[in-house]
Amino acid sequence: MKKGLPEPGDLVVVTIKSVKNFGANAKLEEYPNCEGFVHIAEVATGWVRHIKDYLREGQKTVCKVLSVDPSRNYAELSLKRVNEHQKREKVSEWKNDQRADKLLEIVAKSLKKSVEACRKEFADDLVKRFGTLYEAFEDASASADEWLPDLQGKWKDAFVRVAKENVVLPYLKIGGVVEAYSLESDGVERIRNTFKDSLEENVRIQYAGAPRYNIVVTEKDYKSAEDVLKRVVQKISENSKKYSVVTEFTRK
Residue 5 lies in a domain: no
What span, in angstroms and rounded, lies between the C-alpha atoms of 96 and 99? 5
Domain end, chosen from 145, 166, 187, is at 166
Residue 4 lies in a domain: no
Same domain, 94 and 160: yes
Residue 3 lies in a domain: no
Domain end, chosen from 146, 166, 186, is at 166
- Look at residues 45, 41, 2, 46 and name the one whose alpha carbon lies nearest to residue 24: 41
Same domain, 136 and 185: no
Same domain, 150 and 182: no
Residue 51, amino acid? I
Q: Could you give the count of Cα atoms lying within 13 Å of 202 in the half-sphere of its Cβ?
A: 17
pLDDT of residue 84: 93
Same domain, 225 and 153: no
Same domain, 93 and 148: yes
Same domain, 131 and 76: no
**Which pLDDT tens digits describe the chain residue by residue (252 residues)?**
777 899 999 999 999 999 999 999 999 999 988 999 999 999 999 999 999 999 999 999 999 999 999 999 999 999 999 999 999 999 999 999 999 999 999 999 999 999 999 999 999 999 998 889 998 998 898 775 678 888 888 999 999 999 999 998 777 778 889 999 998 999 999 999 999 888 887 888 877 777 888 888 888 777 888 999 999 999 999 999 999 999 999 987
Q: Give the CATH number for residue 158.
A: 1.10.150.190
**Range of 34's domain?**
11-82
What span, in angstroms and rounded, lies between the C-alpha atoms of 73 and 57? 21
What span, in angstroms and rounded, lies between the C-alpha atoms of 143 and 21? 53
Same domain, 75 and 107: no
pLDDT tens, residue by residue, 161-187: 999 999 987 777 788 899 999 989 999
pLDDT tens, residue by residue, 182-204: 989 999 999 999 998 888 878 88
Q: Give the CATH number for residue 231.
A: 3.30.70.1130
Q: Please give, one letter per residue, the 3-state secondary structure of 74-114.
A: EEEEECCCCCHHHHHHHHHHHHHHHHHHHHHHHHHHHHCCC
Alpha-helical (H) ranges within the chain are: 84-111, 115-118, 124-130, 133-142, 154-166, 187-196, 222-242
Domain end, chosen from 55, 82, 109, is at 82
Same domain, 147 and 179: no
Same domain, 160 and 93: yes
Name the domain count of the chain.
3
How buried is residue 14: exposed, middle or buried, by Cβ count under 10 Å (0-12/13-18/19+)? buried
Q: How far is CA 41 from the centre of its chain?
A: 32
Q: Give the CATH number for residue 61.
A: 2.40.50.140
Residue 155 lies in a domain: yes
Same domain, 91 and 161: yes
Q: Could you give the count of Cα atoms lying within 13 Å of 56 in the half-sphere of its Cβ?
A: 2
pLDDT of residue 144: 56
Q: Which phi-psi region, left, alpha or beta, contains residue 156 (left: φ > 0; alpha: ψ -120 to 50)? A: alpha
What span, in angstroms and rounded, lies between the C-alpha atoms of 123 and 116? 9
